[in-house]
Amino acid sequence: MAHLYISAAHKSSGKTTLSIGLCRAWRKRGLRVQPFKKGPDFIDPLWLGRASGHACFNLDFHTMERDEISAAFAAELRGADLGLIEGNVGLYDSTDLAGANSNAALAKYLQAPVILVIDCQGMARGIAPLLLGYRAFDPELHIGGVVLNKVASTRHADNLIRAVEHFTDIPVLGVLPRDPAMTIAERHLGLMPANEADQAEAWIERIASLVAEHIDLDRLLGLAETAPLPTTGAPVPAIPAATAVRIGIARDAAFGFYYPDDLRALARGGAELVEFSPVTDPEPPAVDGLFFGGGFPEYRMAELEANRSMREGVADFIARGGPVYAECGGLMYLCNTLRWGDERRVMVGALNAEVEMCPRPQGRGYVSLRETPAFPWPESATARDVRRRTVQAHEFHHSAVVAPHPDWTYAYEVLRGVGIDGRHDGIVQGHLLASYAHLRDVGGLNWTERFLTHVRRCLGA
């Protein structure tokens, strides 16, 4: 199955923009493009999913076993004409000295040709030793071509191409000009999410037009077709039949960070997913449980405060013992107030604390957690190891809980990361679990099954 890997020498080189443009340009040619994103990320996948018309799936060494990565990759590629994997950070960047969790390692594991995106601002002949070094660093890695990005002029492009062609045998597959039209607005955690951007379609179309004009799409597709078929993994185990439940999913401009395979796992486990908007809907839906994912509630804090009937409805659901799971932005929404600079807004008030937006990241990256005896969800019937499990997850937040209550009960002990206070995460209050950590239903974690079992127990089912 045709597939390729979009990577770069370093972050912010333009690989997301190129990936968005390729997804839409090939889609407009009638191809079914299946996008993937390396590592934990919600924002880039939203853009890639919107550009391609198909949900983007994450491939992550931290939370997934290698055979699980190959199985998921093969499963999602079924029926697609082309798989496009967008890397994160730089091609060889890794916290592991041997690069075991790098983009290069994933590209080799999936046998994907790598397209290297180079930010060429201020660069000329020096591009040649850069490319030669990247190729020599790991001769086993297939660098199939290079895309020159942020090129200033035709003369600049000619100088770069001449140097690459003279000193290397790496094909130049395209030259993207330095063009403001290629830029998507950014926030403190990366690009503005596609679910919030009113101009998302216009941005995608503009980027796709420029990519189609400046990139050799046919040559790139031919390179992708040289990739071998991915290894077919074991089928997803069937979940025993259980009582159907309705789960409300907060999804709007304030909340939109959900892994599509997690939502699919919830549905496979017997949940009817009912989307609602804490920003615009007058009240929460009639459901058996609520799930508030991450997002940017701070950008909608005035609207969230103004929707008093929704806030009171959520607070009442929690007070009556309704089971709720909240991650990051959801945690922020459930606190008393949210403060950003001089602005303070009233939120749900289920958690007696204020959340403050900070200028610098308060927690960003992978986390390792250990469940405490207070963890509220029952053990999974299908988990491989249910004793004091170490949970691999991630966190991305510029907010912090101001003065965490000394009597709070926590679901997790933080082994790596920040969480609520550097030592704990996962506030447990009645049937509510609110955490800065983002879980993913992979690696034997089975969080969706456990949450649904919790919901059914709360119902007495």
Active site residue ranges: 328
CA proximity to 198, closest of 26, 36, 50: 50
**Overall residue count recorded for the chain in this entry:** 461
Place of tokens 């040619």: 29
SS3 164: helix
Alpha-helical runs (H) found in 295-432: 301-306, 308-319, 329-334
CA proximity to 311, closest of 275, 349, 338, 277: 349
Instruction: Give the Cα-Cα-Cα angle 330, 333, 339 (nearest 5 degrees).
Output: 130
Element (H, E) at 155: helix 154-167
Residue 272 — φ and ψ, nearest 5°?
-90, 120
**Do residues 270 and 452 lie in contact, with contact meaning Cβ atoms separated by under 8 Å?**
yes
Place of tokens 């029952």: 378
**Do residues 371 and 355 lie in contact, with contact meaning Cβ atoms separated by under 8 Å?**
no
Q: What is the DSSP string of 394-439?
A: EEEESEEEES--TT-EEEEEEEES-TTTSSEEEEEETTEEEESSBP
Element (H, E) at 325: strand 324-327
CA distance 29 to 5: 20
Question: What angle do helix axes 127-137 and 154-167 make, rounded to 10 degrees?
Answer: 40
Judge residue 457's burial from the number of C-beta atoms within 10 Å of its C-beta, 0-12 exposed, 13-18 middle, 19 or more buried.
middle
Buried-state track 271-309, b at ≥16 Cβ within 10 A, e below 16: bebbebbbbebeebeebbbbbbbbbbbbbbbebbbebee
Instruction: Give the Cα-Cα-Cα angle 126, 131, 136 (nearest 5 degrees).
Output: 130
Alpha-helical runs (H) found in 9-153: 15-28, 43-52, 66-77, 103-109, 127-137
What's the count of helices (H) and strands (E) in the chain, helices before strands? Answer: 13, 24
CA distance 353 to 375: 21
CA distance 131 to 43: 29
